[in-house]
A and B are shown apart, each in its own frame.
Chain A
Amino acid sequence: MTKIGVIAFQGDVSEHVLAMQRALEGKGSAVAIRQARAVSDCDGLVLPGGESTAICRQLESTGMAQELIDAARRGVPIMATCAGLVLVSREIEGDCKVRPLGLMDTVIGRNAFGPQRESFEMDLEVAGFSRPYRAVFIRAPAIVRAGPEVEVLARLGEIIVAARQKKILALAFHPELTEDLRFHHLFLKMLEA
């Protein structure tokens, strides 16, 4: 049985657990985890949306940060959405409040689109998807620069909003808030490979 751990310090954890359970269709379980030692039991991990400053503090104080770095090194797939996309990056533009984990060769602009007033939904063209994907961007970050190993899945103009590097899937939007599970299925495929 596949076990997916959702890092559960802060953010829309229950939405992630439910969406992942739907995607698993009974072939595994999704659980919220708050203990660093629980990371090593998981076949896949989710870094949810929330506030990256708050989540970053908890990752560090609980030792979870190192567990995630080790898991990524072992090739455990990680799905990182919104704040998660910030946390897995190599560098954050003009900001030293969040210390990223450096799992992905990306440079992030936090709040790339402005305050909540500018948050938006849109139909996004995604590489490999036959029809557009309704993406929900909430005070979203974006990838402003990416290294050669990063595979771009979706762009908005110049900036990257969905990307993959080996076993890490980073999304600037929230696949857990809609019914469309294509990104979840893509992630679960990464577990098989």
Chain B
Amino acid sequence: MELEKLRHGTELLKRGFAKMQKGGVIMDVTTPEQAMIAEEAGAVAVMALHAVPADIRKMGGVARMADPAIIEAIIDAVTIPVMAKARIGHFVEAQILEAIGVDMVDESEVLTPADEFHIEKTKFTIPFVCGARNLGEACRRIREGAAMIRTKGEAGTGDVSQAVLHMRLILGQIRSLKGMDDLQIMKVAREIEADCELVAECARLERLPVVNFAAGGVATPADAALMMQLGADGVFVGSGIFKSENPSAMAQAIVEAVHHYDDPRMLADFSKGLGAAMKGLDAASIPAAEALQTRGW
């Protein structure tokens, strides 16, 4: 094979990778054993980290990229894609993740931010997913090179309300662009601090130009189906699986719920006999200073 003819790391490849995840569930895992449970349950990818967000929240201190040895062990354990988290702005953590063969980096507010700036993601060969609470944030991340957007929600709570809020905001803001002329779109772009051409593209497509997943508080099959019915392209589940009483059954049920999100009878069946979901934490009870979603801009 003539290798010089191959083009790596193009925007098409990055966004294309994200598109292959659509209609799927991406699960947080901390060990190879958990990764295998996730794969067996039908996850489209796993997110390798040192602790699930609920534990990160409890532990406090500085949360960083996971030990590369653990991530490598997870890569070896499964055939589905492996993603991993880097701190906001920590481009060296991202370089390390790319070097060990991670398929996608999540520049995540769950970890302690390293910089007021986000990573310049266009410089990498592998794609990035970034969190967003609104259209402005989503467009800024896409402009920096994010190939996938997810709602921030409020990670580690098992409370889906913030993910709902962010998904409604992003999709509602895009809907409100309908019928606007160029000058009006320019005004919106200025107000939400977003690139004007990107906002115009969202208006034309009537959606983000990249895949838009739900994340941050999804804990049950019904939560996952709720996000899909609201318009998510797929779902990330963090603590919701391995903090539940029966992770394997919960994982399978959430996968089924995402595939059959518009069939309430099937959703009822998937929801039966799963044992306790993660205990969770009311997102409204979290002091503003401890919220993860306000990290990044």
Residues of A within 8 A of B (CB): 8-15, 34, 49-51, 53-54, 57-58, 61, 82-83, 95, 97, 110-111, 114-123, 136, 138-139, 156-157, 174, 177-178
Contact = CB atoms under 8 A, between A and B. Distances in A.
B76 to A, nearest CB: 12
Contacts of B1: 156-157
Given A50-B44, A53-B39, A121-B10, 5 more contacts: A11-B19, A53-B80, A117-B8, A117-B101, A177-B12
B85 to A, nearest CB: 16
B140 interface: no
A11 B20 contact: yes
A11 B23 contact: yes
Given A58-B259, A115-B103, A117-B98, A51 B45 contact: yes
Nearest to A110: B79
A57 B44 CA distance: 11
B149 interface: no
B79 A116 contact: no
B15 to A, nearest CB: 9
Contact of B42 (A54, A119, A120): A54
Nearest to A51: B44
A37 B201 CA distance: 38
A119 B259 contact: no
Contact of B24 (A51, A95, A115): A51
Looking at chain B, what size class is its interface with the partner chain?
35 or more
Interface of B: 1, 5-10, 12-13, 16-17, 19-24, 39-40, 42-45, 75, 79-82, 98, 101-104, 125-127, 255-256, 259-260
Interface of B is mostly: loop
B17 A15 contact: no
Contacts of A53: 39, 42, 79-80
B13 A121 contact: yes
Given A57-B42, A122-B6, A49 B20 contact: yes
Contacts of B259: 9-10, 34, 58
A138 B101 contact: no
Contact of A11 (B13, B22, B39, B45): B22
A8 to B, nearest CB: 7
Contacts of A120: 6-8, 13
Interface centre among B9, B13, B20 (most CB of A within 10 A): B20
A52 to B, nearest CB: 9
Contacts of B22: 10-14, 50
Nearest to B124: A117
A115 B9 CA distance: 12
A49 B39 CA distance: 17
A13 B7 CA distance: 25
B23 A9 contact: yes
Contacts of B43: 54
A115 B82 CA distance: 9
Given A115-B103, A117-B98, A120-B13, A12 B8 contact: no
Given A51-B44, A53-B42, A117-B126, A138 B10 contact: no
A10 B8 contact: no
B8 A138 contact: no
B44 A122 contact: no
